[in-house]
Amino acid sequence: MKIESLIEILENYTQHNVSPNKTIDDLELDSLDVVEFYNHLEEIIGKEIPDNLIRTDITINEIFEMSKKNEN
């Protein structure tokens, strides 16, 4: 997955501009959207993301790096 793909996914959940240095909190996603986003990400990488890594205070770039490490 490319970071542009991750940004494109997030753009479906927010009206804010999505960039690699923004956090989920910056994008003001509600809790349901956060869950849906992480579920979507799990489907893409083909692996469950541990609950302790599902956070809203990390940047999009950090989420991207985490997803690369967890890809099958």
- State the average pLDDT over residues 35-55: 89
Backbone angles phi, psi at 6, to 5 degrees: -65, -45
pLDDT at 71 (0 to 100): 67
Cα separation, 68 vs 27, whole angstroms: 22
What burial letters (b/e) apply to 30-58, b meaning 16+ CB within 10 Å? Answer: eeebbeebbeebeeebeeebeeeebeeee
Average pLDDT, the chain: 90
pLDDT at 52 (0 to 100): 86
Cα separation, 39 vs 41, whole angstroms: 5
pLDDT at 72 (0 to 100): 56
- In the chain, the domains with their CATH numbers are 3-70 (1.10.1200.10)
